Every structure is written in C-alpha cells, then in structure tokens.
C-alpha cells in the first residue's frame, strides 16, 4: 500500500480521535459538573411534568440576569443542554425560556452567539425524530432573529438563517408514524405561516405572529376550572413581579425597561380575561373572591405605573420650560438699555449744546434783573415839597 495513503489515513485517525476525545471530555464534564444556581433554576423552569411554561418563573430568571444575580452565560449553557436533550417537553419549554431571555435581556444575544446555541438548534431541526412543534418553534426563532435589523452587529444570526433557507429538511411524519419519501427546502418551511405562541405569553409581539391583540385569548364558555385557576396564577405572578419593580427603592424607576413594559402589557391584557372569569363564575366563591381581588389589584398597579410615568414626564418638561422662560426674559432686560442709549452726533462740526442751555441771553434780557431791584421814583408832589424844604434850609444856613 502506498505510504502516502497510509500517512493520510493516519492523520485522519489522529484528527478524528482528537475530536472524539474532546466531545467525550465535554460530555463527561457536563455530567460531573456541580449544578449551579442557574442550572437549577433552568431545570425548574423546564420540568418535563409541566404542560405550559411558567412565565412567572421565566420572567424572574430574566430579572435576575438583568440585575446580575444570575450569569447570563450559565443560563444560556443550561438552556443549550435542554435543547440538545431528548425530552420533548423540556425541549419545548427551553425554547420558550430562551425566547423570553432574549426578548428581555440585552446581553443574552451575545451569549447565544458565543455559546453556539444556534448550531444546537439547527441540529435539532435536522433530526428527523424531532417533534414537529419543537422544530417549528426553533425555526420561528431563527427566522425572527435572522430578519431583525437590531442584530446586524452579530452576523451569525443572519448567516444561520440564510444557510437554513438553502438546506433541506427531513419530511414531517404522518399520523401512522411513517415519513413522506421526499425532502424539501427549508425556505418553504421557514416562510410558511408561523404558529401563534402560548396564550399566556407575556412578552409583546416580536414579529413571530400576527394575532389580533384585541381579541380575548379564551372563550370562557367552555373553559374548565383548572384553566381558570391557571390563568389566575399566571396573572398573579405577572402582577406581583410588576409591583415589586414599581415599589423598589431604586431611583429612577425602570418603567421603560423591556421587562417592565412587558409585564404592564400582560396586566392590561389580563384585565378583560379576569372580568370574564368574574362574570362566568357562579358556583365557586373562592375563585370569584380571588378574581375580584386580582381585578382590583390590576387596576391599582396600572394606575401606579401611570402616575410614575406622568411624574417622569413632568420632570423632563420642567427644564425645557425653565430654559424657554429665561430666553423670553432676556430681551426684556435689554430694552431699557436701548431706550437710554445716546444717539451718535450728526456729521459736521460738533455743537456745544449743553453750554447753550445755561448761557445768559444777550440784549434787553440783561436789563430785567436791574428793573426788579430798582427803587421806585417818588411821586411828583413829594419831589416839589422836598425841593422847597431844601431851599429853606439853605437860606437859614446862610
């Protein structure tokens, strides 16, 4: 046998052996790794005994990631392990938890990209034995992320979406358990009408569905007591979480955070639902009492949010009005200065205007002061007597 071929096979065996050893090492590490608080919380949120997602717990995980009580990396790693698992329920719940975390935590997208969660989701999609609902859910997420302009700074999301459109999917099984004898493009799969998420999903519309939010999520004519209780519990969880955020001592209140807005929308959507439960409950006093209390608390927490929002808006408008007032006062302060300003003298030789004002007028006007102080002349009769007396005195003296 050719030595060159032998050396090539040897290199392949070395490479394959190294890759296999790394895979086995990673799996052993996962098995022997001590459970972390994050992994325990993810296990609790993806229990295989649960029929529906526990949105109260999911949102609590999001809140703890945002407050840095939990590591986003550890949460994403735990979710990735659940996605690669074989349990269909845990797999579906882990996808719901992943969407909740990416919708409410900014940094989780970076963790999803760095931990190669998308690769695990693609592997799950391509496995023929994957549950059809889980495959659809994963495709919806990849589609939404790949088409989002906000994630252009992470090219892996768009690249994964584009690569999926060019691949082929294993055909979905039919009712008797067999599969169609053909494969088809993922592009047609991705562009089909997406499934609507769970009715109790508290995150606002992210583009994955086009459901009419004006319609009520339940027709309470045929809803069982268990479903009503589940609705009350879900609403209670959202209410308590929103109340804890609004009543926290931190300032300013995070009323514009994605999590807060999502909880507020959930509470608003729950109001008509709780109202229907009140109207349709006639034989269960405990449920009716809980629904009435919950309806009142929903009104109070929504009112509390509106008050906080109005207070923030008023504080934002106050500096603007102050600056506008100062701008209006400024011209009024300048106006007196403009009125008292001395005009420039006209061209030509300067005239001594102030000296003309105090100058003593010439001519007859100078005689007037002398007339005012002049002694009046005696009358003519008195002058004659005075002359005669003067003559007598002169004769006597002579």
**pLDDT tens across 180-210, in order?**
444 445 555 544 444 443 343 343 333 333 3
**pLDDT tens across 332-388, in order?**
444 444 444 444 555 555 444 544 444 544 444 444 444 444 444 554 544 445 555
DSSP letter at 169 equals: E
Rounded distance between C-alpha atoms, residue 217 and residue 101, angstroms? 23
Q: What is residue 82's predicted lDDT score, i.e. its pLDDT? A: 93
Q: How confident is the model at residue 93 (pLDDT cuts 50, 70, 90)?
A: very high
Report the run of H or E that residue 168 belongs to, with start and end: strand 168-169
**Are residues 42 and 151 both part of a single domain?**
yes
**Are residues 152 and 267 both part of a single domain?**
no
Does the pLDDT value for residue 394 go beyond 80?
A: no
Rounded distance between C-alpha atoms, residue 38 and residue 44, angstroms? 10
Residue scoring higher pLDDT (201 or 12): 12
**Mean pLDDT of all residues belonging to the chain:** 71
**Are residues 59 and 153 both part of a single domain?**
yes
**Are residues 135 and 249 both part of a single domain?**
no
Total domain count for the chain? 2
Q: What is residue 278's predicted lDDT score, i.e. its pLDDT? A: 86
Three-state SS sequence of 104-155: HCCCHHHHHHHCCHHHHHHHHHHCCCCCHHHHHHHHHHHHHHHHCHHHCCCH
Asked whether the beta carbons of 135 and 128 are under 8 A apart, the reply is: no
Q: What is residue 322's predicted lDDT score, i.e. its pLDDT? A: 56
**Are residues 127 and 255 both part of a single domain?**
no
Residue 94 forms part of a structural domain:
yes
293 token code pair: 């209390």
Share of the chain above pLDDT 90, in %: 19
From residue 159, how far is each of 118, 152, 197, 371 by CA, in Å?
10, 10, 25, 117
Residue 169's DSSP bridge partners are 184
State which residues form the domain around 234.
225-311
Does the pLDDT value for residue 235 go beyond 80?
A: yes
Cα 137–Cα 143–Cα 147 angle in degrees, nearest 5: 155
DSSP string, 271-308: HHHHHHHHHH--S-HHHHHHHHHHHHHHHHHHHHHHHH
Q: How confident is the model at residue 326 (pLDDT cuts 50, 70, 90)?
A: low
Residue 122 forms part of a structural domain:
yes
Residue 177 forms part of a structural domain:
no
Residue 127's CATH number: 1.25.40.90
Residue scoring higher pLDDT (164 or 201): 164
**Are residues 76 and 148 both part of a single domain?**
yes
133 token code pair: 């609902």
**Are residues 163 and 271 both part of a single domain?**
no
85 token code pair: 């698992």
Q: What is residue 176's predicted lDDT score, i.e. its pLDDT? A: 45
């Amino acid at each position: 046998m050719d030595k060159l071929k032998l050396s090539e096979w040897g290199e392949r065996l070395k490479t394959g052996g190294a890759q296999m050893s790394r895979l086995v090492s990673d799996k052993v590490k996962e098995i022997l790794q001590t459970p972390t608080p994050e992994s325990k919380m993810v296990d609790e949120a993806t229990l295989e005994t649960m029929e529906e997602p526990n949105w109260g717990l999911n949102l609590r995980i999001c809140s703890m990631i945002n407050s840095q009580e939990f590591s986003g990396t550890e949460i994403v790693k735990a979710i990735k392990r659940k996605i690669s698992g074989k349990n269909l329920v845990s797999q579906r719940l882990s996808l719901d938890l992943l969407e909740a975390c990416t919708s409410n935590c900014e940094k989780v997208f970076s963790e999803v990209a760095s931990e190669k969660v998308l690769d695990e989701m693609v592997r799950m999609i391509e496995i023929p034995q994957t549950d059809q609902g889980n495959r659809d859910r994963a495709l919806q997420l990849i589609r939404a992320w790949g088409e989002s302009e906000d994630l252009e700074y992470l090219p892996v999301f768009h690249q994964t979406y584009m690569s999926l459109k060019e691949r082929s999917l294993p055909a979905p099984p039919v009712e008797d358990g067999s599969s169609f004898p053909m494969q088809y493009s993922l592009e047609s799969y991705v562009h089909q009408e997406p499934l609507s998420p769970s009715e109790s999903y508290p995150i606002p519309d992210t583009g994955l569905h086009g459901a009419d939010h004006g319609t009520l999520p339940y027709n309470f004519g045929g809803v069982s007591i268990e479903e009503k209780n589940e609705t009350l519990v879900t609403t209670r969880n959202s209410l308590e979480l929103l109340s804890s955020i609004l009543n926290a001592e931190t300032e300013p209140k995070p009323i514009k955070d994605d999590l807060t807005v999502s909880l507020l929308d959930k509470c608003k959507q729950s109001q008509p639902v709780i109202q229907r439960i009140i109207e349709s409950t006639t034989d269960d006093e405990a449920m009716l009492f809980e629904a009435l209390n919950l309806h009142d608390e929903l009104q109070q927490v929504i009112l509390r949010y509106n008050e906080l929002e109005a207070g923030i808006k008023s504080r934002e408008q106050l500096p603007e009005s102050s600056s506008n007032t100062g701008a209006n006062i400024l011209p009024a302060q300048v106006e007196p200065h403009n009125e008292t300003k001395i005009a420039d003298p006209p061209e030509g030789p300067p005239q001594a205007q102030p000296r003309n004002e105090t100058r003593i007028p010439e001519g007859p006007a100078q005689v007037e002061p002398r007339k005012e102080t002049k002694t009046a002349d005696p009358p003519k009769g008195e002058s004659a007597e005075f002359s005669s007396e003067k003559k007598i005195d002169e004769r006597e003296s002579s």
